[in-house]
Structure 1
Amino acid sequence: MNTRKIKIVKTPKVVFALCMLILLGSAGCNNILDDVENLGQYPPDKVWGSEVLANAYLTDLYASTLPSWPVNSGVYVDECGPGVITTDFITSQNGTFKYWPYSTIRRINILFQEIENGTLEDDVRNTIKGQAYFLRAWHYFKMVSYYGGVPIIKEPQDLDVDLMVGRNTTAECFDFIIEDLDAAYQLLPSRFKNENFGRIDKAAVLAFKGRVLLHKASPQFNPSNPYDNSYWQEAYAANKTAKDELNNWGYRLADTYDAIFKEEQNDEVIMATVYVNPGKTNGRQEHGVRPLSESKNSTGLDQPIWSFVEAYPMVDGKKPGESANYSYDVQTYWQNRDPRFYATIAYNGALFELGAQAERRQYTTFDLVPSTLANVDDIFGEKQTFGRTGFYCRKGLEEELPATEVETNSTDWVEIRYAEVLLNFAEAANETNKSDEAIAVLKLIRKRAGIEEGADGMYGLSADMAREELRDAILAERRIEFAFEGKRFDDLRRTRRWHLLDGTRKYGLEAFVKDEYVDAEGNLTKTDLMPEDFTYTVREVINNIPEMVVPESYYFYPLRLSDLEKNPNLEQNAAWGGTFNPEL
């Protein structure tokens, strides 16, 4: 094995199969590592006495933990179509929103138990342990955000023994998560870069801790006292520390909104799942996000719905219809919008230069079929029989890829970026009566977005917002800033705002070529059609898709029935027929 491959094994960029070959000693692999005598057996003293093997074990834990691109997650909220949440979408019998990663937690606990008996150098051992503490905290936080309190397991159980313990309280679980994150912080370097980029460091720990404590303080866990509980001060302190320390370590907002995903390892990226070509590609599933005319095998993912398109401010930061500087009309909806709109939304007639096709425009209308300007699978309107909205998402795409190579997209998934740290801080600041600090963050985010400052220097914001108004403004900013990054669902859930979805339906925008560009025989007289060469009608995405129904019980999901049957010591959540209270 050459030096380059050894470096890959020691970082999260490793291909999962290579890890398993190292760890399990598959037949015919005697040349994988020159200094390994017998790949068929790896007793603990062998694994925990070798930096390469110990890091390979850790890499396998990364592969079982790190999230990937949240493709089509917006169908569960007011972001994309055509799917909806309805009654019985989540049950204790199905696998929807179920997460029970105790097999991975067992392997993390094995690491903690065995590494102390190994012969690794202290700095190597501590760095591995620090990352493992974070990974365990990650799994527990996801479970707690789903269910509330779950069993806390700190030591590995025997392979032939089921998990036969009861649930800890939600408060105990939050304490345990913070305990693991604090332990991780003590053992890790401030910031990993270059060949170690993608590994968990102090920066990721602090940013994630701020996210965890924001959830702990939230209305989801404190419905009887949602915004005046003592946890908000804790969340403020953690997010301020994260903001200040990350700033000291060189983190900042990327120069442009576009650069966040286009310029990998930029200074806004705090925690990322790394994709490389060849070896680990298509995390973005670009083949499904693109229109089929410029892709293969799939289409229809992450298609923005009309209400989301309308949510973007005007370029002066005011809501559509409320700007004194820029008029708004459905027939010219794309004009003078927040620059993040153009970085995220591909609309009818817009430049969408996929496959490096200069001046290529995207069309989504039946009027152009069978014209070469559009493909029947890319359209939206009355005649469609499948989910289209009239829009496409362009965030995270490698637009220069030809259709034949669309599945080689290797854009990293950025799970935590500096903008989230800032907005988490702003939210906690507002709830602890520090509105000036919260507004300063919103102005910074909008300035980077390219929104006009305005004569008052407020970037379209009101200077005298009350606490409730500023709360709404922060959540509205998060909706735009983190479009198609999987955060809208969590934001509505943790703030107990399902009522914004309940009873809603999903709409798209249908385009029709204006009469002056069609001759008496129905042929187009103009081929370079622009967005203004169409008229637009708001239309329901698919008429037989029901309206959204989001019960109160969905704020905490039910434990899966099969897990309850295996372990009689588990209690089901109270809203699902049990006795366990998942709230704080």
Structure 2
Amino acid sequence: MKKIKILSCLTIALSLLYSCNKDSIELEPQTAISSDVIFTDPAFAETYLNKVYSGIPNGFNRGWYMLDAATDDAENSYPWPASNTIFNPSNITAGNSPFNGLWSNSYSQIRRLNNFIVNYDQLEGSEGLVNRLKAEAHFLRGFYYSYLLRTFGGVPIITEPQELDDDLLVSRNSEEETLNFIVEEFDTAISLFQNAESAASTRGGLAAALAMKGRILLYQEKYAESASASKQVIDLGTHSLDPDYQNVFLDDNTPEVIFDVQFKDPDKGHYANLFNTPKSTREISGWGGTGPTQNLVDQYEMQATGLRPEEAGSGYDPASPYEGRDPRFYASILYDGAEWKGFTIEHRPGGGESIATSGDFTRTGYSLKKFIQEDRNHNLISTQHWIYIRLAEVYLNYAEALIESGNNLDLAVQAINTVRDRANMPPIALAGQDELRAKLRHERRIELVFEEHRFWDIRRWGIAGDPEVLTIYRVDMDANGDLIDDGKEVWETRTWNDRDYLFPIPQSEIDKNPNLKPNNPGYD
């Protein structure tokens, strides 16, 4: 009952936070100032676009779970979020899909952008400023459509402001048509950004447009075009890998981030620290939240050899299972024996942060460290940024596109090793396409963990229904912290349905517009 009351208070606080500090600032110019001024004065135009930026979903606002908890990388300790009740048991319907809100929100923002784009030739000001605002509008429209495409497949392409007397019963475009439109939008943005003033990472820019173009082309298996776009980002030289991996997720000013959303006291924040800090019997206790799986932990290589623990000659010692691992392990995961907030984490049975099967204690024997602000009281609003795209992903997108096209495998190896070198991990060697594909997929899993990539990767690779993805393991240790047998036991076996490779168009939208039928396969 206490937690329900706290959740209610937090929900009200967040609603007030966003309504008072976002909407009042960003909506006032649209209601108090005439549209003529909005589309001629760059200051008001920028404020207009701010509302569109604020609508982009991020991993900290999904409703007390992170999307990785719907993959083999994590398990949420709460029984009620969508990860546990809808995604993992494959209970998705057109009426309850957690992505239903993405559809309505995206088209709401697209309507704003369409209105802006048909009027933006009225903008006054310097060429660099006007070009930036025009470019941002096309970047954002491409961004929202790219999210729609990867979630629903082909969707209606709407480019004009719709009025009540227009024909609103639009039909779906094909996936290819939707992709082509997205690429056109990013290309328009790229052209404009090349003659525009620069802006912060929280706004679109040349690197962001190229990077997003490279990503969506990769997702749609347009490998040559994807590699070209990602290579252009790398060649720009405007971003660099942060030498400190952990710093990337805590420092708003890291040189690695290409596009992000930032938060600041006291006006704008989230509760990622509270919802992901380990549940404990001690004063460090948070609410548990995201628990990394043993599946994921087993993927972290030994730093000295570059081999996973189960591989012969890796150097892994089951008596000291967490020693000598890839440094990204220590930046991402709290394990039994880790130091945290002045305490030694006790995920062993009976420990202060004990593994459990009920309550909010970790289900897997691990807790999330990546993103979490250790030096901040977790009961306060959190302020770390959410990263939409960063340079390390671009390197890996580039490498994957080269591998899948079967060309320039040596350049793919170089790109992967650039990312591994930052982590002080041994380089991989040139190999055949199949072996490099496996190494690339492993590297994405480790480097981009908990950043909402695995959820989409296992779908586009067609492996989401594989037994090793559906069988979730947790650590098996005794009260002394020693592993029992191989150190892992099955926590759960999840359900998969091939219809879940795409998500259904919301039933409420189909009810309003029958031209959206048929729904995606399996959801009719």
Calculate the TM-score normalised by the size of structure 2.
Answer: 0.86
Which residue is 2:219 aligned to? 215
> Is the contact made by 1:150 and 1:170 (CA closer than 8 Å) also made in structure 2?
yes
1:181 is aligned to 2:186? yes
- 1:126 corresponds in structure 2 to 131
**Cα distance change on mapping 1:161 and 1:96 into 2, 3 Å:** farther
Paired with 2:45 and 2:273, the residues of 1 have a C-alpha distance of 34
- Equivalent pair of 2:464/2:470 in contact (CA under 8 Å): no
Instruction: Tell me if the contact between 1:23 and 1:42 (Cα under 8 Å) persists in the aligned partners.
Output: no
State whether structure 2 residue 332 is matched by structure 1 residue 338: no
Residue type of the partner of 1:538? K
Count of paired positions: 491
1:300 aligns with 2:298: no
The 8 Å contact of residues 278 and 289 in structure 2, kept in 1 or not, is answered as no
Q: Is 1:286–2:273 an aligned residue pair?
A: yes
Q: Counterpart of 2:46 in structure 1: which amino acid?
A: N
Corresponding residue number in structure 1 for 2:262 = 274
Change (3 A) 1:385 1:343: closer
Q: Which among 235, 239, 247 is matched to residue 259 of structure 1?
A: 247
- Structure 1 residues 445 and 191: CA distance shift in structure 2, 3 A: farther
- Give the alignment partner of residue 374 of structure 2, picking from 393, 399, 407: 399
Q: What residue is the counterpart of 2:223 in the other structure?
A: 232
Whether 1:450 aligns to 2:424 is yes
Give 1:116 shift. 2.5
**CA offsets 1:50-94 (integer angstroms, 9 cap, x no match):** 332221111111111253437521121111114554554211222
Specify the alignment match of 1:21 in structure 2. 24
Any unmatched runs of 5+ in structure 1? 1-13, 26-35, 218-230, 369-373, 454-458, 515-530, 579-584
1:576 aligns with 2:511: no
Is contact 1:214–1:428 with CA below 8 Å preserved after alignment? yes
Q: Which amino acid aligns with 2:509?
A: D
SS of alignment partner, residue 488 of structure 2: strand
Q: Which residue of 2 aligns with 1:7?
A: none
The separation in 2 between residues aligned to 1:269 and 1:244, in whole angstroms, is 16
Q: 1:553 aligns with which of 467, 478, 499?
A: 499
CA displacement at 1:535 relative to structure 2: 9.5
For residues 169-208 of structure 1, the aligned pairs below 5 Å read 169-188=174-193, 196-208=200-212
Kindly report which structure 2 residues correspond to 1:14-413, keeping only aligned pairs within 5 A, or say none. 17-18=20-21, 20-22=23-25, 24-25=27-28, 41-65=32-56, 67-69=58-60, 71-82=65-76, 85-86=87-88, 88-98=90-100, 99-100=102-103, 101-159=106-164, 163-188=168-193, 196-217=200-221, 231-245=222-236, 247=237, 249=238, 251-282=239-270, 285-293=272-280, 299-315=287-303, 316-324=305-313, 326-329=315-318, 331-352=319-340, 354=341, 357=342, 360-368=343-351, 374=352, 378-381=353-356, 388-403=363-378, 406-413=379-386
1:427 partnered with 2:400: yes
Does the CA contact (< 8 Å) of 1:190 and 1:203 recur in 2?
no
Alignment of 1:482-561 (within 5 A): 482-501=448-467, 504-514=470-480, 537-541=487-491, 547-561=493-507
Deviates more, 1:293-302 or 1:162-171: 293-302
**How far apart are residue 264 of structure 1 and its match?**
2.6
Percent of pairs with identical residues: 29
Partner of 2:478, secondary structure, is strand
* Aligned mates of 1:535, 1:259 — CA distance in 2: 36
Shift of 1:574: 5.2
1:150 and 1:173 in contact (8 A); partners too? yes
CA apart distance, 1:96:
2.6
Q: Secondary structure, in 3 states, of the residue corresponding to 1:164?
A: coil
Which residue of structure 1 aligns with residue 9 of structure 2?
A: none
Instruction: Indicate if the aligned counterparts of 2:273 and 2:382 stay in contact, CA closer than 8 A.
Output: yes
Q: CA deviation at 1:325?
A: 5.4
Residues 191 and 202 in structure 1, CA contact (< 8 A), matched pair in contact too = no
Contact 2:301 2:325 in 1 (8 A): yes
- Tell me the distance in 1 between the aligned counterparts of 2:184 and 2:470: 41
Larger Rg: 1
Q: CA deviation at 1:412?
A: 1.1
Moved more, 466-475 or 262-271: 262-271
Deviation at 1:477, TM superposition (A): 0.7
For residues 79 and 190 of structure 1, the distance between their equivalents in structure 2, rounded to whole angstroms, comes to 42
How many angstroms does 1:501 deviate by? 4.9
| 44 and 431 in structure 1: CA distance in 2 versus 1, 3 angstrom threshold | same
Deviation of 1:192 (Å) = 7.7
Residues of 1 paired with 2:125 and 2:18: CA distance? 24
Is the contact between residue 347 and residue 354 of structure 2 (CA under 8 Å) also seen in structure 1? yes
Name structure 2 gaps, 5 residues minimum.
Answer: 1-16, 77-82
2:415 to 441, 450, 456: 441
Which deviates more, 313-322 or 413-422? 313-322
Alpha-carbon displacement from aligned partner over 1:116-165 (angstroms, at most 9, x marks no partner) = 34545544332111111111111111111112111111111015767311
- Deviation readout 1:389-433 (Å, 9 max, x if unpaired): 111111111101134xx4332111111111000000000111222
8 Å contact kept, 2:230–2:397: yes
